[in-house]
């Protein structure tokens, strides 16, 4: 069983206050002294919680003053691999999913290239609508070489995290690369997300690899731009694993 550290509890409380509109962009956070009293915690613990929210892009740095709310949308760190379920739980959001289909099929040339398998090789593909607190948030298209995806054919994909299930089955998931851009909602996605066709979506295309560098997944996730944003933290004179590429 996962033990929640007190700083995570404090951070979850502040995230919830921001998400529910109790704290809006521009508002100062409660003072360190107030948070210490509320949670009966040490000042260092409160500062750890605030540092976590700052790293997520939700609040300002403060710089000698009380930090202020910058954004109300959940953020996902580039350091996370790709568990939507875990991201939601960390943000105090109840994740959900509505599977549209799971199928075994031959890979077309484009998908085969992404997975580095022969054209026509068998893959397992999953198409799901992902929910945040019961509301539509993201369209998820997942594709796996059959060697790995076979674990999903007997798995209830409405029951929870595919990522966690694959790990539980002993699948080696080590690294991931992501390409992020914006696309208009196609008719099928628009209907599921309950937005007009052509509405802007944040698209995240991901390739995941085993420790040995074998491609294990190619996915195409499309988020409502009102539901998510991405953050990356950079340090001067230190390389950052983020690239801008032309389409």
Q: What pLDDT score does 247 carry?
A: 40
DSSP track, 97-166: EEEEEEEEEEPPHHHHHHHT--TT-EEEEEEEEEEETTEEEEEEEEEEEHHHHGGGTTS-TTSS-HHHHH
Non-local (6+) Cβ contacts of 44 within 8 A are none
Angle between helices 6-19 and 43-55 (to 10 degrees): 50
Residue 139: predicted pLDDT: 97
Distance of CA 223 to the CA centre of its chain: 10
Q: What is the pLDDT of residue 25?
A: 85
Each residue's pLDDT expressed in tens, for the chain with a length of 247 residues: 445 688 888 988 898 888 788 888 888 999 999 999 999 999 999 999 998 888 777 888 766 678 888 866 666 554 455 678 877 877 778 889 999 999 999 999 999 999 999 999 999 999 999 999 999 999 999 999 999 999 999 999 999 889 889 999 999 988 888 888 999 999 999 999 999 999 999 999 999 999 999 999 999 999 998 887 776 666 566 555 555 444 4
Q: Phi, psi at residue 170, to the nearest 5°?
A: 85, 15
Residue 76 is predicted with a pLDDT of 59
pLDDT of 82 reads: 61
pLDDT at 2: 47
Token pair for 194: 């309950």
Q: DSSP string of 207-230?
A: EEE-TT--EEEEEEEEEETTT-EE
Residue 31: count other Cβ atoms within 10 Å of its Cβ.
11
Contact 80, 233 (CB under 8 A): no
Domains and CATH numbers, the chain: 1-72 (1.10.10.10), 75-231 (3.40.1410.10)
Strand 75-77 with 122-132, pairing: unpaired
Sign of the dihedral defined by the CA atoms of residues 99, 105, 110, 113, in that order: positive
Q: Does residue 59 come out as left (phi exceeding 0), alpha (psi in the -120 to 50 range) or beta?
A: beta
pLDDT at 81: 52
At residue 17, the 3 state secondary structure works out as helix
Neighbouring C-beta atoms of residue 11, cutoff 10 Å: 23
What is the C-alpha separation between 51 and 59, in angstroms, rounded?
A: 9
DSSP letter string, 57-110 = TSB---TTS--BB---S-EEETTS-S-HHHHHHHTT--EEEEEEEEEEEEPPHH
Neighbours of 196 (CB within 10 A): 9
Tell me, what's the pLDDT at 174? 86
pTM: 0.71
pLDDT at 18: 84
């Amino acid at each position: 069983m996962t033990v929640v550290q007190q700083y995570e509890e404090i951070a979850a409380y502040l995230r919830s206050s921001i998400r529910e509109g109790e704290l809006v962009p521009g508002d100062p956070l409660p003072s360190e002294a107030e948070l210490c009293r509320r949670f009966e915690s040490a000042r260092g613990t409160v500062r750890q919680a605030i540092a976590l929210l700052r790293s997520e892009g939700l609040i300002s740095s403060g710089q000698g003053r009380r930090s202020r709310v910058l954004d109300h949308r959940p953020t996902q760190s580039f350091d996370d691999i790709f568990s939507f379920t875990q991201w939601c739980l960390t943000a105090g959001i109840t994740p959900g999913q509505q599977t549209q289909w799971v199928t075994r099929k031959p890979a077309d040339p484009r998908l085969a290239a992404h997975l580095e398998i022969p054209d026509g090789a068998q893959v397992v593909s999953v198409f799901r609508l992902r929910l945040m607190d019961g509301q539509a948030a993201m369209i998820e298209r997942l594709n796996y070489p059959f060697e790995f995806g076979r674990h999903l054919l007997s798995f209830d994909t409405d029951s929870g995290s595919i990522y966690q299930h694959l790990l539980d089955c002993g699948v080696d998931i080590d690294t991931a690369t992501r390409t992020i851009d914006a696309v208009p909602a196609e008719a099928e996605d628009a209907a599921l997300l309950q937005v007009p066709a052509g509405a802007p979506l944040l698209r995240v295309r991901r390739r995941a690899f085993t420790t040995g560098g074998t491609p294990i997944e190619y996915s195409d996730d499309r988020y409502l731009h009102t539901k998510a944003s991405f953050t990356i933290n950079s340090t001067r004179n230190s390389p950052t694993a983020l690239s801008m590429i032309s389409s």
